[in-house]
Amino acid sequence: MLRILLTIVLPLAFWVWAFVDCLTTPEDEVKHLPKVVWVLIVLLFPPLGPIAWLIAGKQRGFLRAATPDGHPGHPAADGPGRAPGRGGRPLAPDDDPEFLASLKRNDKDHEDMLKQWEADLRRREQELRDRDEPGDGRRS
């Protein structure tokens, strides 16, 4: 049983992992060869291809390109909701400063609209009172 695990299952799992890792790695993180060539190497040379990919194919850890602020990590991604140094992955909404700022803007817009509605409601109520009570608008 242990022989089967060591000779078949573990190498197969390692080969599948290396293949999936190679396919899902962004093009800008692949080193030395184009990504298509790495995929072919991993597929066609099962014991050596995954090992080569692991050692020389992908930028890992602190070997990644520096961010614009000079810290190691992924280069900053373009667009809102992307974090420099986090692999260009989207931020959670509560961590994204642009999203939080848009919530504050929306809150301000809603508050202004609510104040306008309240003022309009007061004006209409006053008009109705004035229409119901002739004279100077005071009750006796």
One digit per residue, the tens of pLDDT, for the chain of length 140 reads 667 667 777 888 888 888 888 888 888 788 788 888 888 888 888 778 888 877 887 776 654 454 444 444 444 444 444 445 455 667 777 788 888 888 888 888 899 999 999 999 999 999 999 888 876 555 55
Tell me how far apart the alpha carbons of residues 31 and 114 are, in angstroms, rounded to a whole number: 57
Max Cα distance, the chain (Å): 104
Tell me the backbone φ, ψ of residue 82, rounded to 5 degrees: -110, 140
Strands annotated E in 33-124 = none
For residues 32 and 56, is the Cβ–Cβ distance under 8 A? yes
For residues 110 and 93, is the Cβ–Cβ distance under 8 A? no
Kindly report the number of other CB atoms within 10 A of residue 100's CB atom: 12
Overall pTM surpassing 0.85 (yes/no): no
Q: What is residue 73's three-state secondary structure?
A: coil
For residue 56, which of 83, 22, 91 has the smallest C-alpha distance?
A: 22
**What pLDDT, on the 0 to 100 scale, is given for residue 121?**
95
For residues 31 and 59, is the Cβ–Cβ distance under 8 A? yes
For residues 50 and 15, is the Cβ–Cβ distance under 8 A? yes
Q: What is residue 120's three-state secondary structure?
A: helix
